[in-house]
Amino acid sequence: MSTKHFFPSTEGVVVLGLESLVARNKHLALDAPNKVVYSKTHHPSKVTVISGGGSGHEPAWSGYVGDGMLAAAVNGEVFASPSTKQVMAAISHVPSDAGIILCITNYTGDNLHFGLAREKAAGMGHNVAILRMTDDVALGRKQTENTGRRGLAANMYVLKLCGSAAEDGYDFEKCMKIGEAVNANAVTVGSSLDHCHIPGREHHRSVPDDTYVLGMGIHNEPGLHEKAPMPAVEEIVSDMLKYCLDPEDKDRAFVEFNPDDVVCLLINNFGGMSNFELEALTTITRKVLEKDWKITPSRIHVSCFETSLNAPGWSISLLNISGIERQTNTSIHTLLHLLDRDTKAPAWPRNGYKESHLPKKQAQTSSDNTTETTAQKGPKVDPSTIESALRAACTAAIKAEPDITKWDVQMGDGDCGEAVEGMCKGVLARLDAGLCQSGALFHILDEVEAAVEEIGGTLGAIISIILASYTSQLRLAVAKEGEGLEVDVKRSGQAAGQALKNLMGYTSARQGGRTVMDALIPFCERLEGEADLGRAVEAAEKGAESTRGMKATFGRAAYVGEQGAETQQDAPPDPGAMAAAIFLRGFLDGMGTKQ
């Protein structure tokens, strides 16, 4: 991750961030001096669930405030517990006749400050309890016998189910029981490629290249092990899951997972990993879970749940819903309802688990089939003429491949000749397979277009577009004027003119830009204007030749900075334009040999 930041230090940043959250969530309010975000709509007849801790874990904690999750969140400075005064302020903003649950991660400062707040609130007559969240499995029982385990991202499952239960009107004892059972049935293990960096502070240390850290926490603590060289991603995931699930690991095995238990999976981004990788890691986790442990998660949640600033890491959490059922006598159905029910908490991820009844969808008729059935309809052409023309065009272009390649090597990336050859060989293969036998023009045009499209690249796309658009124009004319439509050179010229106009909507290249358009534009315009194929081919050739010494002005280069392309007086002609002209000349000649 980057050690660069927009803010020079963390000073004032926590409150600025909370202001942002509250500004776009009208149901939330901010007590800025106490860094407390609270729900404006929490009803005092419902149990109040409050959480909090250090900042730097955004969207934790305040992103989870909203009916159906937290009534309030208390935020300390980066990685530092809020003070007791702040916790007391949170309690005062969301009072409850039903009781108050303070959900805390099990760090020393949080224990003490929330603990003190509990003692003070209890003295004021509040029914208030502390619920410790302790899902980390990186350290085993021996190492954590004094301190207890840390809270990591499965915390969010505690907050969601406990908050949902409160919203559904469950009483204090039941909310506590569910919350504690969620925690008792949740495990998390983290993994990271590096530490995070705090604005304005010395960098903690960089994890060496080709090394990852297993058992990483979210406060820049050292992890449990560093592993190098980096194993394959499946092996990393497999190692992580063993820490969560292995019943033989007597120092861990914190949660029992039985066959057929209903299990949820939560994947947390530490903040600096691309979503691109995170989503793929989720699938790998799902596959390893299935393969090694026969677990198919009933619910999957993927998000930045509880970050460590910009750390390039992630964690896997598993929640055994069946374990909660056994411990609380609450049915799986009810527990899943509590998990899936909507909440106003802005950071709880959207997901598809409320959409239970989907309409059956009929199998789609694929577009290819549609094309297939209509392709044989429409105008007929003389099979031998069109075959001869196409063969001659392809042969001419293939013969010119060495020149095309040479020109492209001088000014481009040298693959133009190969692309042209590929397109033409594709057409020839189709001709060999009897493409022209039926004389069905649309079928022939569709197949030629397909052969060009297969090769891809910008040149292929441009030729494909003009061919497809030309064909579409003729199809529309048939639809309008009937099957008897004759495709003469005039009609062809009109279709080519319109196809050119359509093509020019997709590329900004024009005449003088040193592209295939230098041949195509004069060709189509002449064909439309004069209805004479020979004159049109001449125009294409003239246009292609005009690209000699021309400067390139199009393509992605034009998006960036002030880098002008170089002008070269002795530049070769544009290989794409030349290829088009050569192809068209071959086509004309091929027609002639049959006429």
The CA–CA distances, whole Å, from 315 to 17, 55, 282 equal 24, 18, 10
Spatial strand order of the sheet with 100-105 comes to: 28-31, 36-39, 72-78, 48-55, 100-105, 128-133
What's the closest the beta carbon of residue 399 comes to its own copies, in angstroms? 27
Among 70, 71, 121, 187, contact with its own copies (rule: CB under 8 A):
121
Q: Is 176 in the site for its own copies (CB under 8 A)?
A: no
Of 42, 93, 219, 301, catalytic: 219
Measured CA to CA, the distance from residue 384 to residue 392 in angstroms comes to 12
Q: Choose the stretch contacting its own copies; rule: CB under 8 A; options: 381-389, 408-416, 503-511, 517-525.
A: 503-511
Measured CA to CA, the distance from residue 529 to residue 220 in angstroms comes to 72
Among 37, 187, 347, 416, contact with its own copies (rule: CB under 8 A):
347
Among 152, 424, 465, 578, contact with its own copies (rule: CB under 8 A):
465
- C-alpha 564: how far from chain center: 34
Q: Choose the stretch contacting its own copies; rule: CB under 8 A; options: 91-99, 393-401, 540-548, 573-581.
A: 91-99
145 to 174, contacts with its own copies by CB under 8 A?
146-148, 150
Among 73, 161, 182, 224, contact with its own copies (rule: CB under 8 A):
224
| Closest to its own copies by CB, 352 or 482 | 352
| Closest to its own copies by CB, 334 or 502 | 502
DSSP state of 41: T
348 upstream amide cis, omega within 30 of 0: no
Q: Is 284 in the site for its own copies (CB under 8 A)?
A: yes
Alpha helix locations (H) across 43-143? 84-93, 108-123
56 is in an annotated binding site: yes
223 is in an annotated binding site: no
219: annotated active-site residue: yes
Backbone angles phi, psi at 48, to 5 degrees: -95, 125
Residues 6+ apart with CB under 8 A from 487: 379, 381, 441, 474
Q: Is 500 in the site for its own copies (CB under 8 A)?
A: no
Residues 6+ apart with CB under 8 A from 17: 55, 58
- Residue 398 near residue 421 (C-beta atoms within 8 A): yes
Q: Is 209 in the site for its own copies (CB under 8 A)?
A: yes
Q: Is 91 in the site for its own copies (CB under 8 A)?
A: yes
What's the closest the beta carbon of residue 347 comes to its own copies, in angstroms? 8
Taking the C-alpha atoms of 17, 23, 27 and 33 in order, what is their torsion angle to the nearest 10 degrees? Answer: 50
Q: Is 271 in the site for its own copies (CB under 8 A)?
A: yes
Q: Is 341 in the site for its own copies (CB under 8 A)?
A: no
Among 47, 69, 89, 262, contact with its own copies (rule: CB under 8 A):
89
55 is in an annotated binding site: yes
Q: Choose the stretch contacting its own copies; rule: CB under 8 A; options: 12-20, 166-174, 329-337, 485-493.
A: 12-20
64 to 83, contacts with its own copies by CB under 8 A?
78, 83
CA angle 312, 315, 319 (to 5 degrees): 165
460 is in an annotated binding site: no
How many residues touch its own copies under the rule CB under 8 A: the total is: 151
Q: Is 458 in the site for its own copies (CB under 8 A)?
A: yes
Q: Is 58 in the site for its own copies (CB under 8 A)?
A: yes
Summarize the chain as % helix, strand, coil (round to 5).
Answer: 45, 15, 40
- Residue 157 near residue 264 (C-beta atoms within 8 A): yes
Instruction: State the catalytic residues.
Output: 219
Binding residues for substrate: 54-57, 110
